């Protein structure tokens, strides 16, 4: 299973609200060769991390099933995600800037990879409620392959991050 974090806090290039851009991106994930959308968490509204005065983010996590016999190349998957971001109007500026779309690989099965990019599992996923709440929603049995804990258990350790279901 491939887990993809989906988020946005700015209108898309076409003026659509962030939720609509995120929905469009999820539909595009379902078109990736050798993968199909298996699940999608509820949509959540979260405060930016770190706090920055930006508008709140819309977040979800999508799970993709990989066709039997197919191996997922993390770098190729990251490139495809960046193509989807660009198609939805993402422009890269400074780190943690507001954005029209953000797609992150949270994990690919139990793959652990320190280099090259992307690092897997996502190196900050366990520190972010906006990842863990939707992850627990869509993949409640997922175990962090390094920390050995579920998303729900990791989420219980976090304090002070505003997040709520839409």
Which long-range contacts does 88-91 make (Cβ < 8 Å, 24+ apart)?
88/12, 88/13, 88/21, 88/24, 88/25, 89/12, 89/13, 89/14, 89/21
Cα 28 from Cα 148, distance rounded (Å) = 31
pTM of the prediction? 0.94
Q: Which helix (H) or strand (E) holds 151?
A: helix 151-156
What pLDDT was estimated at residue 82?
95
Cα 114 from Cα 24, distance rounded (Å) = 31
What pLDDT was estimated at residue 98?
84
The token pair that represents 148 in the structure block: 């050995």
What string of pLDDT tens digits covers the 166 residues of the chain?
A: 999 999 999 998 888 999 999 999 999 999 999 999 999 999 999 988 776 788 999 999 999 999 999 999 999 999 999 999 999 887 777 666 788 999 999 999 999 999 889 999 999 999 999 999 999 999 999 999 999 999 999 999 998 888 999 9
Domains of the chain: 2-165 (3.30.70.560)
Helix axes 74-87, 18-29, angle to 10 degrees: 140
């Amino acid at each position: 299973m491939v887990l993809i974090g989906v988020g946005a806090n700015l209108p898309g290039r076409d003026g659509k609200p962030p939720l609509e851009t995120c929905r469009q991106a999820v539909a595009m994930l379902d078109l990736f060769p050798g993968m199909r959308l298996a699940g999608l968490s509820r949509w959540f509204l979260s405060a930016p991390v770190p706090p920055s005065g930006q508008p709140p983010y819309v977040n979800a996590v999508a799970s993709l099933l990989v066709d039997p016999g197919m191996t997922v190349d993390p770098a190729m998957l990251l490139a495809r995600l960046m193509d989807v971001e660009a198609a939805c109007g993402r422009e890269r500026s400074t780190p943690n800037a507001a954005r029209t779309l953000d797609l992150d690989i949270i994990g690919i099965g139990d793959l652990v990879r320190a280099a090259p990019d992307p690092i897997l599992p996502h190196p900050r996923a366990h520190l972010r409620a906006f990842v863990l709440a939707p992850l627990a929603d869509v993949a409640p049995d997922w175990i962090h392959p390094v920390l050995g804990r579920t998303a729900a258990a990791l989420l219980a350790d976090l304090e002070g991050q505003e997040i709520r279901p839409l």
